């Protein structure tokens, strides 16, 4: 009798252990699926996506494969650091371009490329990019004039509390991307680099003062009509950091601004 009772206790204990283990395994599986479902996707595409990276389907992808279409991704927001012949300290001729802060913002709206395998792809894109310089001097940039020429305004007459020079470009990056294998949550490490090009769409100067209120002037301000440079992006999942270096001058047909280049860095959403 004692033997049967002992075996019954052992069987019950074993059954409880097995049930607990099964429940734990099921819970781990649910957590994994839940973690994977929480993955944030910042790549919105209308067209053929990049190998349906976020599709849960087990269908095997054949390489190389072409992708492209309308999109809304690679949203950049960061800082600009204009440099005067490699220095962040401006020369006397360029003191009128001194600023309290400068920023860079942009995003892509179309893309086309080829994924070579699970780790590498090449693509080009098109989007828009803005650079903002909040000037500290009480200055107006002369319109329709080359070279770039400022007019200093007496603060006793008009005191500008806001003075922003803005450039708007159509940006066209060419990118070579490497991505790692998937993590447990389904995300990947990504490294993207390549050349970039830009076509000037417009330049503007926006001012605000108590005397004249809000003012906005539109002109090219001798901004570079065609710019080129290099970009680098590093991230995990949909989030990352970027840096851009513009290799040609920020202004054209303006000798005093020769060697005045722009450098930008910040955060990016979407790859």
Prior bond to 64 cis, omega within 30? yes
CATH of 41-269, one of 2.60.120, 2.40.70, 1.10.10, 2.40.160: 2.40.160
Give, in degrees to the nearest 5, the angle at Cα 185 between 184 and 190. Answer: 95
pTM of the model: 0.81
With CA atoms as reference, report the closest residue to 270 among 171, 195, 184, 190: 190
Q: Give SS3 for 129.
A: strand
Q: For the segment 167-209, what is each residue's pLDDT rounded down to a tens digit? A: 999 999 999 999 999 999 889 999 999 999 999 999 999 999 9
Name which of 22-31, 123-132, 156-165, 236-245 the model is least confident about. Answer: 22-31
Say what the pLDDT of residue 133 is.
98
In this prediction, residues 59-77 reach a mean pLDDT of 91
What is the sign of the dihedral through the CA atoms of 79, 85, 87 and 89?
Answer: negative
Q: Give SS3 for 159.
A: coil
Torsion of CA 111, 114, 115, 120, to 10 degrees: -90
């Amino acid at each position: 009798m004692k033997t049967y009772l002992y075996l019954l206790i052992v069987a019950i204990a074993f059954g409880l252990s097995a049930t607990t283990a099964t429940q734990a395994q099921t819970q781990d599986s649910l957590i994994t699926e839940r973690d994977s479902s929480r993955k944030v996707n910042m790549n919105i595409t209308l067209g053929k996506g990049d190998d349906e990276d976020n599709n849960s389907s087990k269908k095997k992808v054949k390489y190389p494969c072409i992708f492209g279409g309308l999109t809304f991704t690679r949203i950049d927001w960061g800082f600009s650091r204009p440099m005067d012949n490699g220095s962040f300290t401006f020369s006397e001729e360029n003191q009128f371009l001194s600023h309290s802060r400068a920023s860079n913002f942009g995003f892509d709206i179309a893309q086309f490329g080829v994924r070579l395998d699970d780790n590498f792809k090449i693509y080009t894109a098109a989007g828009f990019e803005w650079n903002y310089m909040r000037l500290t001097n009480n200055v107006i940039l002369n319109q329709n004039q080359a070279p770039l020429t400022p007019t200093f305004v007496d603060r006793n007459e008009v005191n500008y509390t806001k003075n922003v020079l803005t450039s708007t470009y159509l940006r066209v990056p060419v990118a070579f991307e490497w991505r790692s294998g998937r993590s447990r949550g389904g995300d990947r490490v990504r490294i993207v680099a390549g050349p970039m090009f830009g076509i000037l769409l417009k330049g503007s100067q926006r001012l605000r003062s108590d005397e004249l209120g809000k003012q906005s002037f539109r002109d090219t301000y001798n901004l570079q009509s065609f710019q080129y440079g290099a970009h680098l992006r590093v991230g995990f999942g949909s989030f990352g950091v970027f840096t851009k270096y513009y290799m040609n001058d920020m202004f054209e047909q303006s000798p005093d601004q020769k060697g005045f280049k722009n450098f930008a860095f910040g955060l990016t959403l979407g790859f």
